[in-house]
Amino acid sequence: MDAILLQILNGLDKGSAYALIALGLTLIFGTLGVVNFAHGALFMIGAFCAVTLQRILNLSYEEIDPTQTDFLGNPLVVKVPYVQAWFGPEMGGSIIDWSVPLAILFAIPVMIFVGFAMERGLIKHFYKRPHADQILVTFGLAIVLQEVVKYFYGANPIPTGAPEAFRGSFDFGVLLGFDPNAIIYPYWRLIYFAFAAVIIGGVFSFLQFTTFGMVVRAGMADRETVGLLGINIDKRFTFMFGLAAAVAGLAGVMYAPINSPNYHMGMDFLVLSFVVVVVGGMGSLPGAVAAGFLLGILESFASMNEIKSIIPGIDQIIIYVVAIIILLTRPRGLMGRKGVMED
């Protein structure tokens, strides 16, 4: 029982990331009809927003500390981050410590700008081109973005820590009456899950309760008719692209402490997110979210030793196997509408 609970918990953080990326992919596909292979790159850019802010906050000047000496007896030169100089060592120190959550504020405008630029500069010209062309050009864009990041940040993963306060783990088992240490779960992962839930809830209520969201939903259902009603769909769709980019970016920011950002993390997540979208149903938002969590949890179950000993290697391929079975038996996915991109 506790083992099952543990696996479900373990699946949650990866599932959250899948769900957030798949949500953005679906928003873009559903509204704009574009298959965006560069979406993983947005996730990656988000993670590097966290890295960038951490670096900015750590910008320092050198100062001679008269109270300390180095091993030769000379006064020690220490680096003092500007933030600490401005806000005092205490406050400045905690600002640096909290750089990842703070990066959320930093990432939102950056990601919206990147999303707008992408849509206006490139994607716009591909609405009427075949899906294969869309895949190809966004695939090219993904390579470009990834290489640009690699140029500025290097090829190695960059550890980006969570705030000190959240580095520990939480003993879930005790809470539920199991033995101590039976279910241990890092705080940050818990926060990641909660954060994802908030974002997903936010996106859904935005679509559900605002006029804007209503128009977008109508546009997803029937783009032409909404266009005929005289509503400027294009402008709203540009905004949707910015929103989808922001969701992917925030998913990336918060994922930085879980997995040190590297330039190819976008591509790694992209393949899986596409699989998630397909399993959930092309164009279905609830489907994308449900499938994200489902596959994340399935993956973590498949990596249990008990299961691996029965079917070796199942943890490596479970997601793909599920996707293949779904595509062949129910091509519209778990919750997709019939006829969306079916042949």
Partner 1 sequence: MFGLNKKDTSLLLVVAVLTLFAPFILNPFPTESGLAQFNAGYPDLMQRFVIFGIFAVGFNILFGLTGYLSFGHAAFLGVGSYSAVWMFKLLSMNVIPAIILSVIVAGLFALLIGFVSLRRSGIYFSILTLAFAQMSFNLAYSVLTPITNGETGLQLTLDDPRILGVSATADGSIPVTSLFGLEMRSTYEMAVAGWNFQFSAGYYLCAIIMLVSFYIAVRIFRSPFGLMLRAVKCNQNRMRYTGLNTRPYTLAAFVISGMYAGLAGGLMASMDPLAGAERMQWTASGEVVLMTILGGAGTLIGPVLGAGFIKYFENIFSKINDNVLHQWFGFLPDGIEDFVVFIIHPFIGKGWHLTLGILFMLVVIYLPGGLVEGGQRISRLFKKNKSSDDGAAAKTTPAE
Amino acid present at 133? D
79 binds partner 1 (CB under 8 A): no
Is residue 122 exposed (0-12), middle (13-18) or buried (19+ Cβ within 10 Å)? middle
How many binding residues for partner 1 (CB under 8 A)?
Answer: 38
* Rounded Cα gap, residues 21 and 61, in angstroms: 39
Q: Which residue in the set 226, 278, 294, 302 belongs to the binding site for partner 1 (CB under 8 A)?
A: 278
Task: In angstroms, give the least distance from the CB of 102 to partner 1.
Answer: 29
Q: Is 343 in the site for partner 1 (CB under 8 A)?
A: yes
Smallest gap from Cβ 152 to partner 1, in A, equals: 9
Token pair for residue 124?
């716009």
Reading the block at residue 149, the tokens are 């990041």
- Looking at the Cβ atoms of 154 and 201, the one nearer to partner 1 is 154
Q: How far is the CB of 138 from partner 1 (least distance, A)?
A: 9
**Using CB under 8 A, which of 5, 135, 158, 335 touches partner 1?**
135
CA dist 120 and 118 (Å) reads 6
Q: How many CA atoms lie within 13 A of 214 on its CB side?
A: 4
Among 275, 177, 193, which Cα is nearest to 11's? 193
Q: Which long-range contacts (CB under 8 A, 24 or more apart) does 90-95 make?
A: 95/57
Note whether 140 binds partner 1 by CB under 8 A.
yes
Copy the structure tokens of residue 57.
């906050």
Residues 16-45 that bind partner 1 (CB under 8 A): 35
Please state, in angstroms and rounded to a whole number, the distance separating the CA atoms of residues 330 and 323: 10
Is the Cβ of residue 143 or residue 215 nearer to partner 1 in the bound state?
143
Instruction: Report if residue 271 touches partner 1, rule: CB under 8 A.
Output: yes
Distance CA 217, CA 209 (A): 11
Tokens standing for residue 107: 């990432």
Among the listed residues 151, 206, 209, 212, the single contact to partner 1 using CB under 8 A:
151
Minimum CB–partner distance for residue 137 and partner 1 (Å):
4
Span interacting with partner 1, options 55-63, 243-251, 275-283, 285-293, rule CB under 8 A: 275-283
Q: Which is nearer to partner 1, 55 or 264 (CB)?
A: 264
Residues that bind partner 1 (CB under 8 A): 35, 122, 125, 131-133, 135-137, 139-144, 147-148, 151, 267, 271, 274-275, 278, 282, 312-313, 316-317, 320-321, 323-324, 327-328, 331, 341-343
